[in-house]
Chains A and B, each alone.
Chain A
Amino acid sequence: MPTLTIDGQQVTVPEKTNVIEAAKTLGIEIPHYCYHPGLSVAGNCRMCMVEIEKAPKLAIGCFTPCTEGMVVFTNTEKVKQARKDVLEFLLSNHPLDCPVCDQAGECWLQIYYMQHGQYESRMMENKIKKSKKATSIGPHVNLDQERCVLCGRCVRFCDEITKTHELGIFGRGNREELDVFPGKQLDNRYSGNVVDICPVGALTDRDFRFQVRVWYLGVQDSVCPGCSRGCNIQIHYNRNRPHHGHGRRVARLKPRYNSHVNQFWMCDEGRYGYKFVDAGDRIISPMLRRGAELQMATWGETLAASAERIRAVNPSQIGVIAWPQLTNEELYLVRRLFVDGLGCKNVSFSVPSKKDGGGDDFLITADKNPNTRGAGEIGLPIADSTGDILQAASRGEFKLLHIFGHDLLSSGLDQPLVESALAATETVIFQGSNSHLTVDRADIVLPSATFAEKSGSFTNFEGRVQRIHEAVPPLGDALPDWQILNRMARALEMGWDYQGTEHIFKELAENVAAFSGLSYCVLGDQGELLGYKPTNEAHIPTEPVTTVII
């Protein structure tokens, strides 16, 4: 554990820590392009130069391990001049096309030029023209070679993380270019990450390009609902330019650092899987079947009708198919309402998917639901599988089916069975966010909020409970599922009065053994494992991590 001095402040760091990381712990930022904590050290951008006492020359912070008694200066005249010179080289062939560049606002050439550059241009020569401008090199990524600073982060990502080796730096000297091998594509399941780690506008996201300027984006921490891994993400939402981006409120998802779950990365499936949030098929109003068709209704009417139908039948005649896309809090309320409250015994939550989830040995899991583990821990299913419930329904044993979210009619379930179960059941209540075939068969439709529109928590497959937060308000009249359940319980005169998700989570932690000891404070922004045992030391929530560039 060497102790060193950086800019007059002493710090003790673990063995083999480099100077950039050591400085970071003191809140000192050493500018850099090629260094990334999730990748090997390349040391080619020369931006992270620091002055080290007794060393003859400046040294690069990324490749210099801390040693005992080292004295480092990050802000001397010599260092400042070196940064300025490096920037001048990096920008010598740069097109300076910031007004039309999608990276503008989160570009480290811009940021460092303003902080460390500010020189007068001395370029008299013509700039070298590179061969690829705004070319798509894969399904998700666009390449602009002339903006590239050749840091090689993306190349190392494809070599070290995905091991797919699509990208390379070809040529030599000022004609060096980042590219794929002729005829090949940057097409792997994690390709979107190269856009995140690109410090400049060379690699941009085809999905996000020109939708909205980044300075109009708001940021909210959340968890990806795409599979049971629960990668930590940030939701970047269009906060104050609703007319930009064709009404897309959620503009993009970015991975958020969590050493226990996804490190710095997320998969493309999750990254681009948020489109349903602002899709045209969102259900924006409660609906009641009047005659042959579903008609818009108010929440009051709809909940009264639901309560009336629920009251009219025996609890043994109610089947509930919950949804592992619901949060822990909501699943707990499903149990409280239907099982503890009404005494219903037929509650399931998992519905087989039509196609294989295609898990891999990195982040992607086969289970495409973020909260299957949570549903299990909370005590669902109570009795039977979804198949058994539908069997019973098709035999006419149920008078009422309450379906959350699932599109049973395009699932991996036996389709004739689903058909006959829906047909044989008197009342079908559907509670979900997006319209599909199953919704058309419902008698009462309760529109719910998506993951981006509500708060709560998910439990990933390893048992890590992680919080999600509301980034945008629910669309139209939709409500978070916990609020719908809360209102329904009140319509059933169960005396519920939940004030918020934290209130529900507190009760959940008291009543479900696996969650005991957990609270929103304990979960923090990195989550905590089930079966958490508080230690004597005070729990110190970790600092929020900004993940745009690390």
Chain B
Amino acid sequence: MESEELQGIIDHYAGEKGALISVLQDLQGVCNYLPEPALRQVSDALHVPLSQVYSVASFYNAFSLKPRGRHHICVCLGTACHVRGAPRVLQEMERQLGIRAGDTTEDMNFTLESVNCVGACALGPVVVADGGYSGQMTARKVSPLLKTLGTSHEENQNDS
């Protein structure tokens, strides 16, 4: 991300008190994560100490300090999903992608995360992939899901 682009985001909130979280949200939206140089720029521009910017950035789950992949997969490990086999779904995801929950594949295609409840317990085990909910997941349904995501990604690339 160019610093001019970030400056644009910051200017958008110019003069607003407590603009920090809004700026970080927009930055996260554009970059998919919060790059360190950008945090420094935000700190300078908003006159908020770097340690405080970092406190906020590391507190909220919505912010990531590591680059995230193009596709974001969340496996729910809440109680309902857990008893219906979510750990096996997560295990299969980890096996197929070759990463641990919380990490991103080397080709920057997928980021895998686990969450503690997405509020759709009736559908459990639930996987939220790029904002889309897949219910009654099993280990066997992991491969087709990843394939669909991968294809949509290629389609997007062909479109552009």
Is A159 a contact of B49 with CB atoms below 8 Å? yes
A165 CB → nearest B CB, Å = 3
Chain B residues, CB < 8 A from A169: 55
Q: Is A167 an interface residue (CB 8 A)?
A: yes
- Contact assessment for B58 and A181 in the assembled complex, using a CB-CB cutoff below 8 Å: no
Whether A168 contacts B51 by the Cβ 8 Å rule is yes
B59 near A172 with CB under 8 A, answer yes
CB of A180 closer than 8 Å to a CB of B: yes
Mask of B50-67 contacts with A, CB within 8 angstroms, 1/0? 111011001111000000
Contact B58 A165, beta carbon cutoff 8 Å: no
Q: Which residues of B contact A171 (CB under 8 A)?
A: 58-59
Number of interface residues of A (CB under 8 A): 15
Q: Which residues of B contact A102 (CB under 8 A)?
A: none
Among residues of B, the one whose C-beta sits closest to the C-beta of A169 is B55
Question: In the complex, what distance in Å separates the CA atom of A166 from the CA atom of B50?
Answer: 8
Is residue A182 contacting chain B, with contact meaning CB distance below 8 A? yes
In terms of DSSP, what is the predominant structure of the interface of chain B? helix
Minimum Cβ distance to chain B for residue A476 (Å) = 48
Cβ-defined contact, A168 with B52, below 8 A: yes
Cβ of B5 < 8 Å from any Cβ of A? no
Residue pair A165, B55 in contact (C-beta under 8 Å): no
Q: How far is it, in angstroms, between the C-alpha of A180 and the C-alpha of B50 when the chains are bound?
A: 9
B36 within 8 A of A: yes
Chain B residues with Cβ under 8 A from A170's Cβ? 54-55, 58-59
Measured in the bound complex, the distance between the Cα atoms of B52 and A169 in whole Å is 8
Interface residues of B in 120-142 (CB under 8 A from A): none
Contact between A165 and B49 (Cβ–Cβ < 8 Å)? yes
Contact between A181 and B59, CB atoms less than 8 A apart: no
Q: Within 8 Å of chain B (Cβ to Cβ): is A275?
A: no
Which residues from 23 to 67 on chain B have a C-beta closer than 8 Å to any C-beta of chain A? 36, 49-52, 54-55, 58-61
Q: Convert A162-195 into 0s and 1s, putting 1 for each residue whose CB lies closer than 8 angstroms to a CB of B.
A: 0001111111100000001110100000000000
Complex CA distance for A180 and B61, rounded to whole angstroms: 20
Shortest distance in angstroms between A86's beta carbon and chain B's nearest beta carbon? 22
> CA–CA, A159 to B55, complex, Å?
13
Residue of B nearest to A173 (CB): B59
| Closest CB in chain A relative to B42 CB, distance in Å | 13
- Point out the residue from A158, A159, A172, A181 that lies within 8 Å of B54, measured CB to CB: A181
What residues make up the interface of B, taking CB atoms closer than 8 Å to A?
36, 49-52, 54-55, 58-61
Show 27 residue pairs from A and B whose CB-CB distance is below 8 angstroms, ordered by the A residue.
Answer: A155-B51, A165-B50, A165-B51, A165-B52, A166-B51, A167-B51, A168-B49, A168-B51, A168-B52, A168-B54, A168-B55, A169-B55, A170-B58, A170-B59, A171-B58, A171-B59, A172-B58, A172-B59, A172-B60, A172-B61, A180-B51, A181-B51, A181-B54, A182-B36, A182-B54, A184-B50, A184-B51
Closest 10 CB pairs of A and B: A168-B51, A165-B49, A170-B58, A168-B55, A181-B50, A172-B59, A171-B58, A181-B54, A165-B51, A181-B51
